Amino acid sequence: MGYNLLKGKRGIIFGALDENSIAWKTAQTVHDEGGTFVLTNAPIAMRMGQIDELAKKTGSEIIPADATSVEDLDNLVAKSVEILGGKIDFVLHSIGMSVNVRKGRAYTDEKYDFTQKGWDVSALSFHKVMQSLYKADAMNEWGSIVALTYMAAQRTFPDYNDMADNKAYLESVARSFGYFFGKEKKVRVNTISQSPTATTAGQGVKGFDGFISYAEKMSPLGNASAQDCADYTITLFSDLTRKVTMQNLFHDGGFSNTGVSQEVIEKF
């Protein structure tokens, strides 16, 4: 049962692949809270996932877009405003991909063409999305833009590979663009640093099951689920958080501020 937190609000949700993805859960929750939105993903990801099913459930339209293509993004923004009947109130950037990880390349043996592609998809795309929105003046005042990140941007997780660098860049873009979007358009820009979550993308990281179980033992509240993250994202889309911007918000059950837990001590 929703609270109508997003009644009358319009948005764009990037990255819904299947029912395990945070973007999928967020779309469902936005719908429950009265918001309307356009769904978008890269054409190849759309062929792999079940985005059509989500669109039917939420009464949403789908606009394919390569998030690394400025032309695609400009088209996405223009069409979204047209379809939704007005300017945008919220955007979720839930995109991440490392070719080095997919190909099994170690961090100390990167293929830099792979590195550049992953950086473009995972991090620079966030700047491109915001630049398209900014130049088109497509965001309503007090709108909210959120991207998903992970704590490997601050701490070393060896198997997270070059995605750690991508996330660090993503968080920097949020702060830098957040200044201009806030000053000139009164739009908020934040990142959510989520617990390791059993999504299709997350499971591609070597040793991911170990990540999850370790974080569960370290976090006083346990890991935040994909649905938990969707619920938190909704608060940032709502009018209840109008003065929160340029923040990297840890949503991890307390993991980020825990040195060691009793469970980990007992384990070793």
Burial class (CB in 10 A: 0-12, 13-18, 19+), 163: buried
Active site residue 214: no
* Ligand-binding site membership of 22 (annotated): yes
Residue 122 in marked binding region: no
For strands 248-251 and 188-194, give the pairing: parallel
Asked whether 133 and 77 are in contact (CB, 8 A), the reply is: yes
Q: Which amino acid is at 174?
A: A
The reply to whether 87 sits in an annotated binding site is no
Which long-range contacts does 259-266 make (Cβ < 8 Å, 24+ apart)? 260/218, 261/217, 261/218, 261/219, 261/220, 263/217, 263/218, 264/214, 264/217, 264/218
For the question of residue 107 being annotated catalytic, the response is no
Catalytic residue among 112, 134, 150, 214: 150
95 is in an annotated binding site: yes
Cβ atoms 157, 212 nearer than 8 A: no
- From 3, 112, 134, 160, the catalytic residue: 160
Q: Are strands 10-14 and 36-40 parallel, antiparallel or unpaired?
A: parallel
Neighbours of 104 (CB within 10 A): 9
Across the strands, what pairs with 90?
11, 144
Point out the annotated binding site.
Answer: 15, 21-22, 95, 167
Point out the annotated binding site for NAD(+).
Answer: 15, 21-22, 95, 167
* Catalytic residue numbers, as ranges: 150, 160
